[in-house]
Amino acid sequence: MKKLKIWQKNVLMLIVIIVLMVSALLVQPNGSFGGSDGAAETMITKLDPSYKPWISALLKPKSGEIESLLFTLQGSLGVGIIAYIIGYFRGKKKNAIN
Amino acid sequence: MTKHYQTISRILAILVLLLIITPQRAYAMHIMEGFLPLSWCIFWFAVFLPFFIYGLIKIKQIVAVDDHNKILLALCGAFIFILSALKIPSVTGSTSHPTGVGLGTALFGPGVISILGTICLLFQALLLAHGGLTTLGANAVSMAVVGPFVGYGVYRLFKKMNINHSVALFACAALADLATYLTTSIQLGVVFPDPNTGVLGSVLKFIGIFCITQIPISIAEGLLTVITYNLISSSLPMKEGTIK
């Protein structure tokens, strides 16, 4: 087998990730794909019906839309930082060569 | 070589089958505000504190060694931000998110994650009502302490065995992810024992739910970590000394 270049490996791995996600959606056509926290509460109240949360979050996103806005913000913040750093060093390297 | 592939494909087939036949709802790794009794909140904060101090010392040392490390640390923190904002669908019909701690763990060791991971947890607790301030200690122990330490152990072991660097990095990230959710299962199971089967039964219940949903997500996380590492290692001034 010919040795793959790094970018070819990266593309291959990306494809595997996409396949993982899409297959999840295909395998469970009736899945709710809800996540998380509401469901955790249900589980806990099932195990201990008498338990009452003794404190609640200070700020709660007003709706699902606002929540996804904040999640997107969080992700883009990270991407922005990483893209800046990679770009900065790419440029620096190029300058050093010239 | 073909025998190797046969074994791998057989294991994969079994895993996929396991995932399909056990549909479950997802549970985020963050324990919600108010869902741990006060005494447990204090307990987990106490457990976390020494690691937090260790992390501060580590970061100070790392930054002192080389100025570039400051930028690399920012990059590792940013990676945690991105990955923990991703809610990835799993074959179990629900979504859950990766932790993103693998990259920083492999580059700088587990100590720095106690700080970087906690910054991310704080952001989500304050702005997104994901996790909470009272449960921050418990969530930090699972995502910013146990996960990275397990990942680092695996990474060191693989390196010692002279296994390919990408494979070691993949295992580090994927197992740190799984260890995080395993810890959360234990944290919840201890507080909310099953009426019939007790603490162990409850822990197993949470493990069953968390870890099965998390298997494909931890694989995706491992691959994403390797891709990101490949991208940065070709353009960043990374010396051998940085990678311990």
Q: What ipTM was predicted for this assembly?
A: 0.86
Q: Report chain A residues whose CB lies below 8 A from the CB of B202.
A: 47
pLDDT at B49: 97
Residues 6+ apart with CB under 8 A from B17: none
- Between A28 and B4, the more confident residue is A28
Q: What pTM value is reported for the model?
A: 0.85
Which range, of A22-26, B159-163, B218-222, averages the lowest pLDDT?
A22-26
pLDDT at B77 over 50: yes
CA distance A98 to chain B (A): 16
| Other Cβ atoms closer than 10 A to B76 | 26
Report strand pairing: B88-89 vs B95-96: antiparallel
Mean pLDDT, rounded, for B77-106:
90
A25 touches B: beta carbon within 8 Å: yes
Phi-psi region of A40 (alpha: psi -120 to 50; beta: other; left: phi over 0): alpha
What is the Cα–Cα distance from B181 to B143, expressed in whole angstroms?
A: 8
Q: Which residues of B touch A9 (CB under 8 A)?
A: 166, 230
The answer to whether the Cβ–Cβ distance between A75 and B80 falls below 8 Å is: no
- Report the residue from A16, A33, A36 with minimal CB separation from B89: A33
pLDDT at position B145: 97
Q: What angle do CA B9, B11, B12 make, to 5 degrees?
A: 60
Predicted confidence (pLDDT) at residue B86 exceeds the cutoff of 60: yes
What length does chain B have?
244
Using one digit for the tens of pLDDT, what is the confidence trace for B171-225?
A: 999 999 999 999 999 999 999 998 889 999 999 888 877 888 899 999 999 999 9
Chain B residues with CB under 8 Å of A84 CB are: none
Query: Mean of the pLDDT values across residues B92-111?
Result: 91
Least confident of A45-54, B79-88, B193-202: A45-54
Give yes or no for A26 touching B (CB within 8 A): no
B127 reaches A (C-beta below 8 A)? yes
Distance CA A58, CA A96 (A): 50
Write out chain A residues lying below 8 Å of B82, CB-based.
Answer: 74-75, 78-79, 82
A36-95 residues touching B, CB cutoff 8 A = 36-37, 39-44, 47-48, 51, 53-61, 67, 70-72, 74-75, 77-82, 85-86, 88-90, 93
